[in-house]
Amino acid sequence: MLIHQDRLFPAEPRARKIAKTLYEHVRRLPIISPHGHTQAAWFARNDPFLDPAKLFVQPDHYIFRMLYSQGVSLDDLEIGQPELKDARRVWRIFASHYYLFRGTPTRMWLDFAFQELFGLGERLSERTADRYFDTISERLRTPEFRPRALYERFNLEVLATTDSPLDSLADHKAIRESNWKARILPTFRPDPVVDPEFARFADNIAKLDEKTGEDTSTWAGYLNALRKTRVRFHELGCTATDHGHPTARTANLSTAEAADLFYRVLAGNADAQQQELFRAQMLTEMARMSLEDGLVMQIHPGSSRNHNRKLYERYGRDVGADIPMPTNYVDALRPLLDQFGNERELTIILFTLDESTYSRELAPLAGHYPCLRLGPPWWFHDSPEGMMRFRERVTETAGFYNTVGFNDDARAFLSIPARHDVARRMDCAFLAKLVAERRLEEEEALEVAQDLAYGLVKQAYKL
Amino acid sequence: MLIHQDRLFPAEPRARKIAKTLYEHVRRLPIISPHGHTQAAWFARNDPFLDPAKLFVQPDHYIFRMLYSQGVSLDDLEIGQPELKDARRVWRIFASHYYLFRGTPTRMWLDFAFQELFGLGERLSERTADRYFDTISERLRTPEFRPRALYERFNLEVLATTDSPLDSLADHKAIRESNWKARILPTFRPDPVVDPEFARFADNIAKLDEKTGEDTSTWAGYLNALRKTRVRFHELGCTATDHGHPTARTANLSTAEAADLFYRVLAGNADAQQQELFRAQMLTEMARMSLEDGLVMQIHPGSSRNHNRKLYERYGRDVGADIPMPTNYVDALRPLLDQFGNERELTIILFTLDESTYSRELAPLAGHYPCLRLGPPWWFHDSPEGMMRFRERVTETAGFYNTVGFNDDARAFLSIPARHDVARRMDCAFLAKLVAERRLEEEEALEVAQDLAYGLVKQAYKL
Amino acid sequence: MLIHQDRLFPAEPRARKIAKTLYEHVRRLPIISPHGHTQAAWFARNDPFLDPAKLFVQPDHYIFRMLYSQGVSLDDLEIGQPELKDARRVWRIFASHYYLFRGTPTRMWLDFAFQELFGLGERLSERTADRYFDTISERLRTPEFRPRALYERFNLEVLATTDSPLDSLADHKAIRESNWKARILPTFRPDPVVDPEFARFADNIAKLDEKTGEDTSTWAGYLNALRKTRVRFHELGCTATDHGHPTARTANLSTAEAADLFYRVLAGNADAQQQELFRAQMLTEMARMSLEDGLVMQIHPGSSRNHNRKLYERYGRDVGADIPMPTNYVDALRPLLDQFGNERELTIILFTLDESTYSRELAPLAGHYPCLRLGPPWWFHDSPEGMMRFRERVTETAGFYNTVGFNDDARAFLSIPARHDVARRMDCAFLAKLVAERRLEEEEALEVAQDLAYGLVKQAYKL
């Protein structure tokens, strides 16, 4: 067996028993996935997934960044190639380096999928590479492994994608118009039209004009175009926005100042500070619109994107070279919070890549401001130890009820059940520790476990 | 039962047994409370406490910040009202939200008081709200629940308050002049007269003139007025000062520079940087006076006070909107340490809200400079996990003997025994881990446990 | 017994059993010590060590910084004296304060040496001070306690020293030319000739001229002199360089800019920023040379050296007053990584004194860039808790194979076996936790344990 039924539970028998009891009560709850990077097109078209390399290796930056760090070339992994020339060769390279993932969540997610979905029982290695490749390839051709069948098998209740304001959402419409009763929702991610450093920023804003009929060359028209686009998303079930800024900085300029800044960034005359100020102002504008239309805001700050210049020049974005930065929230959020912090109808979910902020800034902020909630451990911290640190550092100040359950944030569709399983197990392990140390009654822990696995996410994302 | 006799001890049986043995040796030691925010007036007058809402909810920002974060209005809690109009209604709101405190130290402190002081055995909830209200109200009217009786019941040996230099200390005098043999001591907290941003700063300094007969419009007179006030405090048993600055910054200006700066801040002409520089200089002046008069210095830096602008404008200070900031010690303390760092007769106790400094800056500083000691985990970190992190990150570099036992820092008088109990249990749990992992002998752990619970605080605060 | 055979293993019986099994497989592996501060002269001359005070107390800043923090004077400890006047008196002072080291790694290292090397079984204290002094003194006079005998007894396979480019390496040559078959290697530490703030910087560069025949008054000649010196080190077995900079900042100036900067720093006309820029540029130059000659780079940033001004003025460097600072890697390393980050033939080993960077910056960087590896917990963090934090925060992102085993970094020769023993035990404890929680198979853990204790260090340092 690749995975053990007691995995991630405490070694100490009494705490382990409590964790297992808690887990038994939540393991079969439906999965709500309110934030991630799967593709609506998969479910609109319901085409079979291709080979194992295309499915597991190519889209997963957790995998290829580790291989790259140990000297494997991205060309050998055919990263960036639309079609793989030699999928089996890529798979073999991956398999022969699988030992590198010992102790990582990637290994845990993969082993879960290998065993639970493909029935594989011997560890992936150079020796078993071909057997894996053949077994997985064969299964992928069966109807049970089509995207829609997997969605149902995974017991998904909601699956949110992340989408540009320029996206037609045709795939989402197609899913809605089909007879298939699944809840796959878009998320409004306006980075391409609110971040002056985004590729083709001015072009993107011009396109927004075409799509909305608003004159996006004016500040008022631009804001209206965003408003209309949010409505368009909302009509297809969208309940949330998402903002991936370098920092958590917000601003609260006067209308005249904001308009001037907009014209400057649109004309391409803004320096780095002004670009940052514009992003900061747009977070506050987005909060204002959220108060109007009820969309929940998610802020994902603190990643130094495309840190590896040569790789970026050759392969573009998202090739595993984003590195977290120290992130400040206490000063950065103040302008927005001065304006909207006490609004009970507003929900802003904060994420971080800087764990030093958990107990210092994030838990105190979320434990006070009615509009703030804390997202689960993100990206590099979406891991057993990362989850334990999150609960240990956040709960004593913000409690459980200022957090919002789990986000898988997955690009790899097949990893979704594994990721939620890890999150449920770790929350049960944390609760079991509290119960075993007589800090919480088991009866209460059962209620909290269900809230963490299902109730809180549904409520926070208005699902 | 609301609280279990083995609470907070490790789940693992052998370590738990060691923790219990250690705890049995320290649980009955007298409580020394060298820093907190109780009121001397309570003990001077010995009036009964009013209803449960007034006693537990209104003064406790841990409680109302959590309720506020979940949408409860401060008006409904009657925060800021001198008299409660409907105490029972406030209590019911609190009770029906009591589940929010699961996993927080507040829950642990309250359950301790509910069970140990009021004999309550069923969890507080909407259903039990009235029973709690009635039971507590009834007990509060009995002689056993008057402040002096509770002081004795709590086995307090020393209780320090925190007082403005402008305070007449009449209540402290009244306690001294009564026949009651308790040791309730003032602490010299000069923020109102050393922080240019404090409300009515110049007025406060003028008042200092009246109280001391020194001409506080001159730098020398101002310093002498502070000296005389410290003497006045000292005569009433005060052994320590306390400084609540935004940062840990210190300065060591020449007399002429310091005097110039003083005139500028006094005239209200100082900008933010100069105000910060003045606070920085005053820490060094306070250290100089401490060398003369022997008062122990406490520095509590790193809180961004009154972060919620609207709440501050409406309700004033201390309504749960103080948020920790990243805090630097290594550069900030250097001017003071350059001058006085090697003085063995000086004691400066450092606190922090930025846990990333424990192992990086605070333990290395306290593990070297003879004048420095580390205060216990403060505020948001005064919690089981916070205490464990403190010991785990500090001990290996600074040892146990550069720390100073526990401070409850309580505003809520009834939480004092619970807070010391948590601290004693967590120290015993940490020591038990060391013993169980064969890193310390049990015999030594017994000695350390007693030092942490009683000996070190007495020595560090010169009690 | 001073030390227990199960020390540092988890208290929980199942995990403890796994840890013991793993440890049994690695405990007898040879020790590779690729970075430290022992003296080649000891092994070249093979003179007996002097008394216990000279051996244990005087060179060990971990010891005297703790004693100093508790009011012991450095003069009483005869710190800085070439010959001790009253070694027994120094020893007695140390012994009577030995309780201060409870819970510190120093205590663990010392007890190991006292028991394993000197057969002492009763704890050091005021009472046992003389017995310790006499027993140790007597043994030190025996042939078994000469440096070379100890090297063999410690089962050392490689021992690297840290050496100035101005060092003649005569002791290393003498060892090589003797019949003694040990592998004691120099490490190239160019701080005296690349750090403009180093004492007598310009003189040092002039001396480099004499030693290499290159005209070090020119930028090209200076670089050539460094190149030649690296060759000289390489010929004596050196495989690594080491860089102790205040920050991790790197730069990538044009040749003309770099040359201009060099002339400015050499002339003593550079301000603090330019001095920092020069150090930054030199890290990139060193990386360039490492690509040519294959020497592994070690970067040890983030210490605020000589923080205690008065002690520095009186006793000079390395008297226990170096304090860690917040350290940034993500921006600081970018210029170097832009140039050389994707080179598979380059190895740069990063260390830190700022643990908040483990999960935020270091693991993501090392988990991506092929040239980067993470050094073990350093200095204040070279401790059981520090090691556990390192593995817990690093492994999930960077895995085990982007780390490089253990460095003892010892100045105290006798502590080397104890330090490696602690590291091996803690790695086994961490692995045992993974196995007990079903996150890793025991079979795999055995392989990883051997890699962490022996394989990775040998590979990373090209030994």
* Closest-CA residue of chain B to C9: B437
Cα distance between residue C164 and residue C171, in whole Å: 13
C367, C370, C392: residue with CB nearest A385: C392
Identify from B17, B73, B79, B323 which residue to disrupt to test chain A contact, counting A C-beta atoms within 10 A and taking the largest count.
Answer: B323
- Residues comprising chain B, all counted: 463
Judge: A361–B324 Cβ closer than 8 Å, yes or no. Answer: yes
Identify from B325, B360, B365 which residue to disrupt to test chain C contact, counting C C-beta atoms within 10 A and taking the largest count.
Answer: B360
Judge: B444–C355 Cβ closer than 8 Å, yes or no. Answer: no
Are residues C197 and C126 located together in one domain of the fold? no
Residue B26 falls within a domain, yes or no?
A: no
Contacts of A328 in chain B (CB under 8 A): 326
Contacts of A310 in chain C (CB under 8 A): 338, 341-342
Cα distance between residue B237 and residue A195, in whole Å: 61
Report the complex ipTM. 0.97
Q: CA C110, C112, C113, C115 torsion: positive or negative?
A: positive
Are residues C125 and C186 located together in one domain of the fold? no
Per-residue confidence (pLDDT) for residue C252, from 0 to 100:
98
- Residues comprising chain C, all counted: 463
* Closest-CA residue of chain A to C345: A71
Contacts of B369 in chain C (CB under 8 A): 69, 308
Chains interfacing with A (3 or more CB pairs < 8 Å): B, C
Cα distance between residue A26 and residue A428, in whole Å: 9
Are residues B131 and B157 located together in one domain of the fold? no
Identify from C342, C355, C442 which residue to disrupt to test chain A contact, counting A C-beta atoms within 10 A and taking the largest count.
Answer: C342
pLDDT class for C397, splitting at 50, 70, 90? very high
Q: Is A75 exposed, middle or buried (0-12, 13-18, 19+ CB in 10 A)?
A: exposed
Is the pLDDT confidence value at C274 over 90?
A: yes
pLDDT digits 0-9 by tens, C410-436: 999 999 999 999 999 999 999 999 999
Per-residue confidence (pLDDT) for residue A80, from 0 to 100:
87
DSSP letter string over B346-367?
--EEE--S-TTHIIIIIHHHHT
Contacts of C344 in chain A (CB under 8 A): 71
In the numeric block, the tokens 């001058």 are attached to: B339
Residue C284 falls within a domain, yes or no?
A: yes
Is the pLDDT confidence value at B55 over 90?
A: yes
Are residues B280 and B403 located together in one domain of the fold? yes
pLDDT class for B80, splitting at 50, 70, 90? confident
Identify from B385, B390, B419 which residue to disrupt to test chain A contact, counting A C-beta atoms within 10 A and taking the largest count.
Answer: B385
Cα distance between residue A399 and residue B66, in whole Å: 8
| Strand ranges (E), B100-251 | 156-160, 184-185, 240-243
A365 Rama sector, left if φ>0, alpha if ψ -120 to 50, beta otherwise: alpha
Residue A26 falls within a domain, yes or no?
A: no
Residue C137, Cβ neighbours under 10 Å: how many? 18
Where does a domain end: B123, B145, B167? B145
Is the pLDDT confidence value at C320 over 80?
A: no
Cα distance between residue A435 and residue A15, in whole Å: 8
C344, C361, C444: residue with CB nearest A71: C344
Residue C30 falls within a domain, yes or no?
A: no
**CATH assignment at residue B95:** 1.10.2020.10
CB C422 within 8 A of CB C109: yes
Is the pLDDT confidence value at C160 over 80?
A: yes
Judge: C69–B369 Cβ closer than 8 Å, yes or no. Answer: yes
Bridge-partner residues for C299, per DSSP? Answer: C243, C350
CA atoms lying within 13 Å on the CB side of residue B141 = 6
Where does a domain end: C79, C111, C145? C145
Q: A163: Cβ–Cβ under 8 A, 6 or more apart, which residues?
A: A40, A169, A172, A186, A187, A188, A189, A233
Judge: B364–C323 Cβ closer than 8 Å, yes or no. Answer: yes
Residue C119, Cβ neighbours under 10 Å: how many? 9
CA distance B400 to chain C (A): 7
Is the pLDDT confidence value at B318 over 90?
A: no
B8, B100, B108: residue with CB nearest A401: B100
Contacts of C75 in chain B (CB under 8 A): none
Are residues C133 and C274 located together in one domain of the fold? no
- Residues comprising chain A, all counted: 463
Are residues A151 and A264 located together in one domain of the fold? yes
Cα distance between residue B153 and residue B117, in whole Å: 10
The 3-state secondary structure of C373-438, one letter per residue: EECCCCHHHCCHHHHHHHHHHHHHHHCCCCECCCCCCCCCHHHHHHHHHHHHHHHHHHHHHHHHCC
Return the closest-CA partner of residue B380 out of B415, B355, B404, B406.
B355
Where is average pLDDT lowest: B70-79, B162-171, C316-325?
C316-325
Return the closest-CA partner of residue B348 out of B331, B326, B369.
B369
Residue range B377-387: average pLDDT?
98
C290 — phi, psi (to 5°)?
A: -65, -35
pLDDT class for B206, splitting at 50, 70, 90? very high
pLDDT class for B375, splitting at 50, 70, 90? very high
Is the pLDDT confidence value at B214 over 90?
A: yes
Radius of gyration of chain C (CA): 22
* Closest-CA residue of chain C to A323: C364
C10, C359, C365: residue with CB nearest A355: C359
What does DSSP say about strands A323-324 and A303-304: parallel, antiparallel, or unpaired?
Answer: antiparallel
Per-residue confidence (pLDDT) for residue A133, from 0 to 100:
98
* Closest-CA residue of chain B to C16: B437
> What percent of chain C shows pLDDT beyond 90?
96
Is the pLDDT confidence value at C318 over 90?
A: no
Judge: B366–C69 Cβ closer than 8 Å, yes or no. Answer: yes
Contacts of A437 in chain B (CB under 8 A): 7-11
Are residues A189 and A68 located together in one domain of the fold? no
Residue C20 falls within a domain, yes or no?
A: no
Judge: A308–C337 Cβ closer than 8 Å, yes or no. Answer: yes
Identify from C360, C403, C440 which residue to disrupt to test chain A contact, counting A C-beta atoms within 10 A and taking the largest count.
Answer: C360
* Closest-CA residue of chain A to B302: A360
Where does a domain end: A144, A168, A190? A144
Please report, in tens digits, the pLDDT of each residue of chain A (463 residues total): 899 999 999 999 999 999 999 999 999 999 999 999 999 999 999 999 989 999 999 889 999 999 999 999 999 999 989 899 999 999 999 999 999 999 999 999 999 999 999 999 999 999 999 999 999 999 999 999 999 999 999 999 999 999 999 999 999 999 999 999 999 999 999 999 999 999 999 999 999 999 999 999 999 999 999 999 999 999 999 999 999 999 999 999 999 999 999 999 999 999 999 999 999 999 999 999 999 999 999 999 999 999 999 999 999 887 878 999 999 999 999 999 999 999 999 999 999 999 999 999 999 999 999 999 999 999 999 999 999 999 999 999 999 999 999 999 999 999 999 999 999 999 999 999 999 999 999 999 999 999 999 999 999 999 9
* Closest-CA residue of chain C to A105: C396
pLDDT digits 0-9 by tens, C25-65: 999 999 999 999 999 999 999 999 989 999 999 889 999 99
CA distance A324 to chain C (A): 6
CA distance A436 to chain B (A): 6
Chains interfacing with B (3 or more CB pairs < 8 Å): A, C
Judge: B364–C356 Cβ closer than 8 Å, yes or no. Answer: no
Judge: B381–A359 Cβ closer than 8 Å, yes or no. Answer: yes
Per-residue confidence (pLDDT) for residue C59, from 0 to 100:
87
CB A358 within 8 A of CB A397: no
Q: What is the mean pLDDT of chain C?
A: 97
DSSP letter string over B396-417?
HHHTTTTB-------SSGGGHH
**CATH assignment at residue A412:** 3.20.20.140
pLDDT digits 0-9 by tens, B231-245: 999 999 999 999 999
Q: Report the number of distinct structural domains present in chain A.
A: 2
A325 is in which domain, residue-wise? Answer: 147-460
Calculated CA dihedral for residues C5, C7, C9, C10, nearest 10 degrees: 120
Residue C207 falls within a domain, yes or no?
A: yes
Judge: A326–C360 Cβ closer than 8 Å, yes or no. Answer: yes
Angle, helices C272-293 vs C219-235, to 10°: value is 50
Are residues C207 and C98 located together in one domain of the fold? no
CB A355 within 8 A of CB A381: yes
Q: Which two tokens stand for residue B215?
A: 């001409």
Residue A346 falls within a domain, yes or no?
A: yes
CA A183-A189-A193 angle, 5° bins: 145
Judge: C68–B368 Cβ closer than 8 Å, yes or no. Answer: yes
Is the pLDDT confidence value at C108 over 80?
A: yes
Q: Which two tokens stand for residue B459?
A: 């020595």
Judge: A328–B324 Cβ closer than 8 Å, yes or no. Answer: no
CB A370 within 8 A of CB A342: yes
Are residues B137 and B204 located together in one domain of the fold? no
Q: A284: Cβ–Cβ under 8 A, 6 or more apart, which residues?
A: A250, A251, A252, A335, A336, A339, A340
Chains interfacing with C (3 or more CB pairs < 8 Å): A, B
CA distance A208 to chain C (A): 34
In the numeric block, the tokens 């993932």 are attached to: A101
Judge: A69–C366 Cβ closer than 8 Å, yes or no. Answer: yes
Residue B34 falls within a domain, yes or no?
A: no
Are residues C322 and C425 located together in one domain of the fold? yes
* Closest-CA residue of chain A to B305: A330
Cα distance between residue C183 and residue C151, in whole Å: 10
CA distance B108 to chain A (A): 7
Per-residue confidence (pLDDT) for residue A318, from 0 to 100:
79
Are residues C127 and C169 located together in one domain of the fold? no
Judge: C438–A325 Cβ closer than 8 Å, yes or no. Answer: no
Q: Is A27 exposed, middle or buried (0-12, 13-18, 19+ CB in 10 A)?
A: middle
Size of interface A-B (CB pairs under 8 A): 124
Angle, helices B219-235 vs B201-212, to 10°: value is 70
Contacts of A363 in chain B (CB under 8 A): 380
Are residues C66 and C155 located together in one domain of the fold? no
Judge: C437–A355 Cβ closer than 8 Å, yes or no. Answer: no
Residue range B413-438: average pLDDT?
98
Judge: C10–B437 Cβ closer than 8 Å, yes or no. Answer: yes
CB A413 within 8 A of CB A42: yes
Cα distance between residue C310 and residue C323, in whole Å: 15
Q: CA B228, B229, B234, B235 torsion: positive or negative?
A: positive
